[in-house]
Structure 1
Amino acid sequence: MRIYSNILILTMAILASGCTGRRGMEHTPPPGWVSERPVSSMHYIGIGSAAPNPIPGEALRTAKERAAADLVGEIALRVESTSLLESEEKNGQVQQDFTSTISSRAEERIAGFQVVDVWEGPRGAFVYYRLDKARYAAERNARKQDAIDLALLEYEAGRTDMDKGNLQGALNHWGTAILGLEEFWNEVNRAQIGGEEVSLEPHILRTMRESARNIHLRAAVDAVLLNAEGDFKFPLGLHATHEGVNAMGLPLQYRYHNGTYLKQATEFTDEEGTVVANIQGVAPKRPDVNLNCTLDLERLFKAAGLNSVLIELLGDIHVNSISLPIEVEMPTVQIRPAPNSQLGVEAHSSTITVLRSVLLDAGFKILDNGAYSDFSLTVELRSETRRPSGELGNFHTAYVEGGLVLRKTGGDIVHQIVLDRVKGVQLDPSTALNLALSNLAESIREKHANNLIRALR
């Protein structure tokens, strides 16, 4: 019983002591810095305050955050006239990224600050921070020198890659160097490169632009020739070099019009600096007869890992390009009745006439002598005539069907077309057959002409 009594007395004493302490705190007058901001030539000052909050510790936490922000705001960033930031003052994205970086590194910038005083009262919570200016300057200079040293290492690594023809790797190193200096873009960051003192970021940016501009492109031939001998396909070699060294890993974009639409593709060069563009399916008549090739900067920057800020800093870069004609040598074709055709030679005339017209309009050449032609097109026809009966009265009905076979000069079959049955109805059986043959010829023009032309190309 005596033990419980002692615990009760101790608890009441603690509660009484707590109440007395809080009443004393509430009546403690605020220090002078709460109402009048301190001024110091030796320190940066940060004052933060927050209104009372029913959540324990919340007002003090907020006051500390505001004191830190106020301290950061005291450290003015002077933008030097020839710094990267000044030269890009009209570029909102660069300015925004720099501001974001400085904000994200605020805690690092004020490391080592002192908590001078903290006061809590009826008016809320108040916090007083300060940072020694000399210490801050020394630490910032040390960070800047470290950033410059690392940037120089990245720059040299980029030069080594460029000597090997690896522009993609070089751009990655140089971009890393510039971003590593981002906290100091408001200053002129000088360093020795090749025995000369340079402003580091502008020098690296110039090196990046010049390296891209100095990529030289050439094609394996002066003109692309598509003909029957090559199956109207051509493997075009495109070669990239930098100062005579094969340029590997470069995205080369090539484009050409195939007669229907503009065809384009981007492929990366191999270790020999080469891309093989497979040219095919090109019509002889098209809006532009040339193939154009250039360095695809968008794909290059993406492959090199450059972010949008670096791309904005690089600006527009004029790179080399090449252009060469694509010539389509239309094949020669012989058109003749097939040896196994059921109908005579004259019966093939309407079909052969339509085929000649279709191929000539597409630019092909028609030869009578198969020995000199690139392709042979044979026409095989079959017919059936029925006498009048039933509702047809005195009319005769003729049916015609068959096929087309396209062969190369050597005899290999390239394409086959089945000609579906068509009919002609007339009083005279010969006239009915001629009508069926005419209808067959028109069905070839309407249904099979495009497929035949594509097969010949």
Structure 2
Amino acid sequence: MEKNRSIAMRNFKVNVRHLVMIILLLPVVAVYAGDKKPGWITQRPVSRFYYIGIGYASKAEHPTDYHQVARDQALNDLASEIEIKISGETIQKLSEMAGVIKEDVLSQIRSTTRAHLEGYEQVAAWEDANDYWVYYHLSKEVYQKLQKERKIKAINLAKDFYLKAKDEEKKGNIASAIRYYMQALQSFQEFIGEPVSVQIDGKSRYLQNEIYFALQQLFMNIKLLPLTGKLNIKMTKGKAQPVKVKATYQPQGNPVAGLPVAFKFVKGKGKIDSPVNSDRQGIATGMISSMLSSEKLQILRAFTGSDLFVDTGSNPLLQQLIRNLNTPATKILLTVSGLQ
């Protein structure tokens, strides 16, 4: 009996010791409540070693989600402290490429910084019957380390896609080359606002510029042509009518296979398969299943575009850059008969 009691006491002491160690390793978060606001609310903290974010929410205005509202505000506040070091020349170039003003470029870069925050910690929170405040910080050293690791990984992946795109371009696989270029841009969209210099063929080059202008050149050399000047569409119930355009790559005029082509009515209205991929002869066929307008002369627009290749996600600057590319399009005249 005495021996069992002695073993139990030893086990108890070991468990208590482990529990104390676990508690010591947990992050310390000060939670305040009461009438008197703590100093970090009345006077904003300043630190050489941390980025700081303070958030607030009214419980009356946000009775069910005031914690989340205050947290989001704190992280936005924290992100605003992170200095964005981008030259005026880079901002100007991005502004021209994306077709937006410089202020929008900076705003979108800051939004991207906020979206990719990690490593931050809650330091304290305070609340009373009406208000909720929260205090976060992020170690500057930790932030720089994480940013460097993410940037290296993103650049290496983007460069890999870029080299694959170049290889496909040399083989004449134009649609495949465009997809790889798009994936390259997408791979380092977090750093799209920073000048990224890489070694390619023994030369130092800015990767964003190389990808963007390669894409623009490919799109400029693609031509879409309707296979008939004016198409007579006779609508019969239950029978779809084909509309065809051919994609070629200039100046040789080689067919572009696998190119996504979309169709849209710009005059009149109807239902048509869209988008569709061009076949080996470069022909994209959209099937009109019904006409929804009584107009005799209607117009279809056939086009390819960057957003048909990849999902640009939530990065607004990348979306603007992609949308500002000049992409090929053509129009098809339809004379419609047999409308019910």
Asked if 1 retains the 8 angstrom alpha-carbon contact of 2:161 and 2:181, the reply is yes
SS of the aligned residue for 1:39 comes to coil
**Could you report, residue by residue, the CA deviation over 1:340-366 in whole angstroms, capped at 9, with x for unpaired residues?**
xxxxxxxxxxxxxxxxxxxxxxxxxxx
Other-structure match for 1:248: 257
Higher CA-based Rg? 1
Counterpart check, 1:108 vs 2:116: yes
Counterpart check, 1:45 vs 2:52: yes
* Aligned mates of 2:52, 2:188 — CA distance in 1: 27
Counterpart check, 1:92 vs 2:97: no
Counterpart check, 1:200 vs 2:170: no
**Could you report, residue by residue, the CA deviation over 1:11-55 in whole angstroms, capped at 9, with x for unpaired residues?**
xxxxxxxxxxxxx9536x432112110111111111122345498
Give the 3 Å change call, closer, same or farther, for CA 157–121 of structure 1 in structure 2.
same
Give the 3 Å change call, closer, same or farther, for CA 119–163 of structure 1 in structure 2.
same
Please, which of 154, 165, 178 is the counterpart of residue 147 of structure 1? 154
Give the 3 Å change call, closer, same or farther, for CA 191–34 of structure 1 in structure 2.
same
Deviates more, 1:187-196 or 1:67-76: 67-76
Asked if 2 retains the 8 angstrom alpha-carbon contact of 1:151 and 1:177, the reply is yes
Asked if 2 retains the 8 angstrom alpha-carbon contact of 1:178 and 1:204, the reply is yes
Other-structure match for 1:176: 183
Asked if 2 retains the 8 angstrom alpha-carbon contact of 1:119 and 1:125, the reply is yes
Runs of 5+ consecutive residues of structure 2 not aligned to the other structure: 1-31, 225-245, 262-275, 285-300, 313-318, 330-340
**Could you report, residue by residue, the CA deviation over 1:135-193 in whole angstroms, capped at 9, with x for unpaired residues?**
11111121122211111121122122212222112112112211332221221011112
* Aligned mates of 1:243, 1:148 — CA distance in 2: 33
Asked if 2 retains the 8 angstrom alpha-carbon contact of 1:50 and 1:126, the reply is yes
SS of the aligned residue for 1:45 comes to strand
SS of the aligned residue for 1:89 comes to helix
Other-structure match for 1:158: 165
Deviates more, 1:93-102 or 1:129-138: 93-102
Other-structure match for 1:298: 303
SS of the aligned residue for 1:88 comes to helix
* Aligned mates of 1:146, 1:57 — CA distance in 2: 39
* Aligned mates of 2:139, 2:57 — CA distance in 1: 25
Bigger relative contact order, structure 1 or 2, given CA contacts below 8 A and separation 6+? Answer: 2
Other-structure match for 2:18: none
* Aligned mates of 1:56, 1:318 — CA distance in 2: 51
Give the 3 Å change call, closer, same or farther, for CA 173–49 of structure 1 in structure 2.
same
Please, which of 263, 271, 287 is the counterpart of residue 280 of structure 2? 271
* Aligned mates of 1:271, 1:172 — CA distance in 2: 17
Task: State the TM-score, normalized to the length of structure 2.
Answer: 0.56
* Aligned mates of 1:168, 1:184 — CA distance in 2: 25
Give, as a single letter, the amino acid of the residue that structure 2 aligns with 1:103. Answer: S
**Could you report, residue by residue, the CA deviation over 1:37-84 in whole angstroms, capped at 9, with x for unpaired residues?**
01111111111223454987754443333222211222232332343x
Backbone CA RMSD of aligned residues: 4.5
Give the 3 Å change call, closer, same or farther, for CA 104–188 of structure 1 in structure 2.
closer
* Aligned mates of 2:129, 2:109 — CA distance in 1: 38
Give, as a single letter, the amino acid of the residue that structure 2 aligns with 1:180. Answer: S
Give the 3 Å change call, closer, same or farther, for CA 49–302 of structure 1 in structure 2.
closer
Asked if 2 retains the 8 angstrom alpha-carbon contact of 1:165 and 1:242, the reply is no
* Aligned mates of 2:128, 2:278 — CA distance in 1: 71
* Aligned mates of 1:250, 1:49 — CA distance in 2: 50
Other-structure match for 1:389: none
**Deviation for aligned residue 1:242:** 6.5
The count of corresponding residues between Structure 1 and Structure 2 is 244
* Aligned mates of 2:180, 2:101 — CA distance in 1: 22
Give the 3 Å change call, closer, same or farther, for CA 96–82 of structure 1 in structure 2.
closer
Give the 3 Å change call, closer, same or farther, for CA 47–243 of structure 1 in structure 2.
same
* Aligned mates of 2:77, 2:305 — CA distance in 1: 43
**Could you report, residue by residue, the CA deviation over 1:335-393 in whole angstroms, capped at 9, with x for unpaired residues?**
xxxxxxxxxxxxxxxxxxxxxxxxxxxxxxxxxxxxxxxxxxxxxxxxxxxxxxxxxxx
**Deviation for aligned residue 1:304:** 3.7
Other-structure match for 1:309: 320
Asked if 2 retains the 8 angstrom alpha-carbon contact of 1:216 and 1:241, the reply is yes
Task: State the TM-score, normalized to the length of structure 1.
Answer: 0.44
Give, as a single letter, the amino acid of the residue that structure 2 aligns with 1:26. Answer: G
* Aligned mates of 2:68, 2:256 — CA distance in 1: 57
Give, as a single letter, the amino acid of the residue that structure 2 aligns with 1:309. Answer: Q
Asked if 2 retains the 8 angstrom alpha-carbon contact of 1:165 and 1:248, the reply is no
* Aligned mates of 1:106, 1:136 — CA distance in 2: 12
* Aligned mates of 2:282, 2:58 — CA distance in 1: 67
Give the 3 Å change call, closer, same or farther, for CA 120–204 of structure 1 in structure 2.
same
